[in-house]
């Protein structure tokens, strides 16, 4: 078995999908997990990107169906998490409006992130390095602070934290991992980026969101493809078992090999 075949099998990606069937399967998965965990619903951070928009659609359908079936209220809480002023925050609100989210909250992470970064810089100074944090390092604090706020809200409201991580991100290790605070459940995990776009079109994600370049919003101008050096088309082709440019294949397999620790449970002895 080639490494490509091994990866596809491990991540559970299909060569093609039926979007309607995928929605049904993933909504049922969410419903079962909420019921089994005896929680009151789901929390999803709405970034304004396509992955979180699809997750919102799945979560809202799941909790609406549970409410109707169980005779008690289950909620999907949508959380907006800008760092100061977010230029595309209107896309996040458009997603919430599209899927009729009645429960939303905003947790602006700027002050908390800046305070942590300042403390880190104090620590660096004591080590003889009088400098600011790198923009990549501060970007990672943003990701982690968002998870801190999500889990604080989820704890108070007895909700599960939903991750938007999918197979195209797992392939490269570019997703919410243990060091970031992890998540409770990942309903998109066996879909690649192309398939998520297919599901997004099926559920009616706003066009402004469909047209955006994928980004984690970690620093100004950051894009996933620019940071990883490989396109999501090549990434998706690879996960569908197709032959791709040898250089792109080398990059993807290199990422996969060196990020195994991010996909595995925390090692012990």
Mean pLDDT in residue range 160-176: 87
Percent of the residues in the chain that have a pLDDT greater than 90, as a whole number = 77
Position 227 pLDDT exceeds 80: no
pLDDT at 153 over 90: yes
CA 75 to the chain's CA centroid: 19
Q: What is the DSSP string of 135-182?
A: HHHHHHHHHHHHHHHHHHHHHHHT-EEBP---HHHHHHT-S--GGGT-
Please state the rounded mean pLDDT for residues 208-229: 72
- Are the C-beta atoms of residues 260 and 3 closer than 8 Å to each other? no
How far is residue 16's CA from residue 158's CA, in Å, rounded to a whole number? 36
Q: What's the mean pLDDT in 8-16?
A: 96
Q: What was the pLDDT predicted at 219? A: 58
What average pLDDT score do residues 2-22 get?
Answer: 97
* DSSP class of 202: H
Domain layout of the chain by residue ranges: 3-108+146-263
Determine how many CB atoms are found less than 10 A away from the CB of residue 229. Answer: 12
Only one residue has tokens 């009616």, namely 204
Mean pLDDT for the stretch of residues 251-266? 86
Q: How far apart are the C-alpha atoms of 37 and 39, rounded to whole Å?
A: 5
State the chain's mean pLDDT as an integer: 92
Is 169 part of the annotated catalytic residue set?
A: yes
The single residue of 22, 51, 234, 237 carrying the catalytic annotation is 51
Q: What is the pTM of this model?
A: 0.92
Report percent pLDDT > 70 for the chain: 94
Active-site residue, from 22, 91, 165, 169: 169
Residue 10 has a pLDDT of: 94
- Residues 19-42 have a mean pLDDT of 98
Please report which confidence band the pLDDT of residue 269 belongs to, taking 50, 70 and 90 as the band edges: confident
Q: Which residue has the higher pLDDT, 227 or 252?
A: 252
Q: What is the mean pLDDT of residues 70-79?
A: 97
Mean pLDDT (whole number) for 7-12? 96
What CA–CA distances, in Å, run from 25 to 15, 19, 66, 91, 162? 17, 10, 15, 27, 16
Q: Which residue, 169, 171, 173, 153, is CA-closest to 161?
A: 153
CATH dotted code for 3-108+146-263: 3.40.50.620
Cβ-contact 103, 78 below 8 angstroms:
yes
Rounded mean pLDDT of 106-134? 97
**Cβ count near 114 (within 10 Å):** 15
The mean pLDDT value for 139-160 works out to: 95
Contact 160, 39 (CB under 8 A): yes
Residue 97: active-site member: no
Question: What's the whole-number mean pLDDT along residues 229-233?
Answer: 88
| 265 pLDDT more than 90 | no
DSSP, residue by residue, 90-148 = HHHHHHHHHTT--EEEE---HHHHHHHHHHHHHHHHHTT--SPPPHHHHHHHHHHHHHH
pLDDT of 137 higher than 70:
yes
Residue among 154, 165, 182 nearest 76 (CA): 154
Greater pLDDT, 211 or 24: 24
């Amino acid at each position: 078995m080639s490494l490509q075949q091994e990866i596809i099998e491990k991540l559970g990606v299909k060569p093609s999908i039926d979007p309607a069937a995928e929605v049904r399967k993933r909504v049922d998965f969410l419903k079962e997990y909420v019921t089994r965990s005896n929680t009151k619903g789901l929390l999803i951070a709405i970034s304004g990107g396509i992955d979180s928009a699809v997750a919102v659609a799945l979560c809202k359908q799941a909790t609406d169906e549970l409410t109707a079936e169980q005779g008690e209220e289950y909620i999907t809480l949508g959380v907006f998490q800008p760092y100061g002023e977010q230029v595309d925050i209107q896309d996040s609100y458009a997603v919430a409006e599209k899927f009729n989210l009645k429960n939303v909250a905003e947790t602006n992470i700027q002050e908390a992130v800046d305070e942590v970064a300042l403390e880190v810089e104090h620590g660096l100074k004591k080590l003889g390095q009088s400098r600011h944090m790198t923009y990549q390092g501060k970007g990672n604090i943003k990701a982690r602070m968002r998870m801190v706020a999500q889990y604080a809200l989820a704890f108070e409201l007895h909700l599960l934290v939903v991750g938007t991580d999918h197979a195209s991100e797992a392939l490269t290790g570019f997703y919410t991992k243990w060091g970031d605070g992890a998540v409770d459940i990942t309903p998109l995990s066996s879909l690649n980026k192309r398939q998520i776009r297919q599901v997004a079109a099926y559920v009616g994600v706003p066009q402004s969101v469909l047209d955006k370049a994928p980004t984690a919003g970690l620093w100004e101008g950051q894009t996933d493809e620019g940071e990883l050096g490989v396109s999501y088309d090549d990434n998706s082709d690879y996960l569908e078992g197709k032959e791709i440019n040898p250089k792109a294949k080398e990059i993807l397999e290199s990422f996969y090999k060196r990020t195994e620790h991010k996909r595995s449970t925390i090692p012990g002895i």
